[in-house]
Structure 1
Amino acid sequence: MGAADVVPGVSGGTIAFITGIYFRLLEAISALPVAFFRHLVRGRLGAFWREADGTFLVCLLAGILTSVVTLASAITFALMNYPVLIWSFFFGLIIASVWHVGRQVRRYRWPLALPLLAGTAVAWWVTTLSAGQVSPSSLAFFGAGALAICAMILPGISGSFILLIIGMYAPVLGAVKSGDFGILLLFGAGCLLGLLSIARLITWAFHHFHDYVMALLTGFMIGALNKVWPWKETLSWRINHSGDRVPLTELSVSPETFHQVTGQDPQLLVALVMACLGLALVLGIEWLGSRRSVT
């Protein structure tokens, strides 16, 4: 999840879903406030830990933070130097995730087309937005955390891409790389507020409208495919915080058009291999999960 959340366009929520921990994560987060007031404030640490699924949350958070800190530079380097291959891998991963999430619907019927189309339209629209710019103040870091975490917990909507749109991706990534704990605490506080809010809402909706939620999440993933399409034509550019010239507005194009516009090799064969690897990874995880549930 941490590695996915570093990449603008890939959702950590997607990874949580295909690994089978998504709803356990939502339940654990939703239980935190109640467990805090019911047990922790009264000194019942053991009861609080059990009700909040503390071991699961701590292990998951440790894995996310470790991945973000250790892979932030590597993923940034890979996206800069091998963009077609990296995006192809994530495209295959999300294609398989669409199939995986869609299978979770208990009973297919035509009204489910409405949330499916709505989710697709919203996610697609988000991927077409241009990167913005805000002043990286303390309030901006707090608000960015609250907004980004709401997107991160939703499969198909990338929290990193939301940060990129509002112009906070580079400042947050810079704080991670430099170890600015004051800024990271503000960002983390915003994440905590947003996470507690969105998790309870999704958990409630899932219990009452299971198939509609599944259809909506499937739509989010379908719409997100526009962002991870490997071949892009850059329509406009911007200067980031490091002084580098980076794309501002991009348009998904065919491999042939990509070659004509950029003069670069579309690497079609290798891109297909990377997409198949992403597809195989999801299917392999699902197969391992099904074997574990049987045993």
Structure 2
Amino acid sequence: MNLWIKGIILGFVMVMPGMSGGTAFLIFGLYEDLIKDLMKRNIKPYLPLIGGIIAGIFISGMAFGFVFENYRDATVSFLLGCLLASIKSVLYGCPKMNGGFLGIAILGTMIGAVMVGEPLSFGGMEEEVSFLALFIGGALATAAMIIPGIPGSSVLILMGVYDVMFVSINELDIVNLLVFGAGAIMGTVLLLNILSQLYDRYKAKLSYFFAGLILGSSRSMVPSTLSVPIIMVFVIGFALVWFSSNRQGGELEAA
């Protein structure tokens, strides 16, 4: 499979809450070489991969935007299932919960619930998100999504810019996309090494904290109505990420 095709698949993975881009890199056998080359600022061999990722993000972003506009509750329910199931992969390999870890998780949940903002809208936004939020969101999400087990899209949900980016993709808002892209470049160049070292050193504490953030931020994805189809879509999204995390766990062990 060439890098372009792998990039398109990675783009789809990165858009979905709960899916770890870093783990996908491991599955495709790209992670170690990619990290080494990124540290050396050697990106030329990965230009086809980057192009594929961008294409995958745009294709999946437009698809999700269309589906959300027409089936809002079903889409939110699916994404909620994906998001909650991702806690399994975030906590993979961590020690069992104790009082300290529980406190960290509760703190993360409270912060996530406060920070996440309004429910996803994917359109008709009355309040514009600042360029600073887009820039920081791009930096943190990109750096986080390269770390195996961490879903970068969850960072965007936490910061309240996940739906904004979908709208920007659908409407080809060049300014928003450029600001986000600039943040993504900074996250890759400057923050990746720092976050990787912190995660390696404080993996358990950060994992429980991030699991709490995910749980707290999920309040932005509660559907407005409940029905059997809505619940079924939630179960499908949950199962998709939950069972894919079994594959992710195997890849993390192999790494």
Q: TM-score, normalised by structure 1?
A: 0.61
1:35 corresponds in structure 2 to: 40
- 1:280 equivalent among 239, 242, 245: 239
Q: Which amino acid aligns with 2:186?
A: L
Note the C-alpha offset of 1:184: 4.6
- 1:174 equivalent among 171, 176, 198: 171
Number of paired residues? 229
1:90 corresponds in structure 2 to: 79
Report whether the alignment pairs 1:157 with 2:155: yes
2:230 corresponds in structure 1 to: 271
Gaps of 5+ in 1: 37-47, 232-254, 256-265
- How far apart in 2 are the matches of 1:92 and 1:28? 32
Note the C-alpha offset of 1:120: 1.2
- 1:120 equivalent among 93, 109, 119: 109
1:251 corresponds in structure 2 to: none
Q: Deviations over 1:157-185 (max 9, x none)?
A: 326963379x7774565336xxx5x8755
| Higher Rg of the two aligned structures | 1
Query: Do the aligned partners of 2:14 and 2:21 also contact (CA within 8 Å) in 1?
Result: no
- 1:206 equivalent among 182, 199, 202: 199
- How far apart in 2 are the matches of 1:128 and 1:160? 8
Q: Which amino acid aligns with 1:148?
A: G
Query: Do the aligned partners of 2:79 and 2:221 also contact (CA within 8 Å) in 1?
Result: yes
Q: Deviations over 1:226-267 (max 9, x none)?
A: 111112xxxxxxxxxxxxxxxxxxxxxxx4xxxxxxxxxx4x
Q: Any residues of structure 2 matched to 1:1-295 within 5 Å, and which?
A: 2-3=11-12, 11=17, 14-16=18-20, 19=23, 21=25, 31=36, 34-36=39-41, 48=42, 59=49, 61-129=50-118, 132-133=127-128, 140=131, 144-151=134-141, 153=144, 155=151, 156-158=154-156, 162-163=160-161, 170-171=167-168, 173-175=170-172, 180=174, 184-185=177-178, 187-231=180-224, 255=225, 266=226, 268-289=227-248
Percent of matched pairs sharing the same residue: 17
Note the C-alpha offset of 1:73: 2.7
Query: Do the aligned partners of 2:118 and 2:220 also contact (CA within 8 Å) in 1?
Result: no
Q: Which amino acid aligns with 1:150?
A: L
Q: Deviations over 1:172-229 (max 9, x none)?
A: 65336xxx5x875554223211343332332121121111011112112111211111
Q: 1:63 to 1:229 in 2, by over 3 A?
A: farther
Q: TM-score, normalised by structure 2?
A: 0.69
Gaps of 5+ in 2: 1-9, 120-124, 145-149
- How far apart in 2 are the matches of 1:33 and 1:73? 29
Q: 1:120 to 1:183 in 2, by over 3 A?
A: closer
Q: 1:63 to 1:111 in 2, by over 3 A?
A: farther
Structure with greater proportional strand content? 1
Q: 1:158 to 1:220 in 2, by over 3 A?
A: same
Note the C-alpha offset of 1:149: 3.4
- How far apart in 2 are the matches of 1:133 and 1:270? 33
- How far apart in 2 are the matches of 1:134 and 1:90? 21
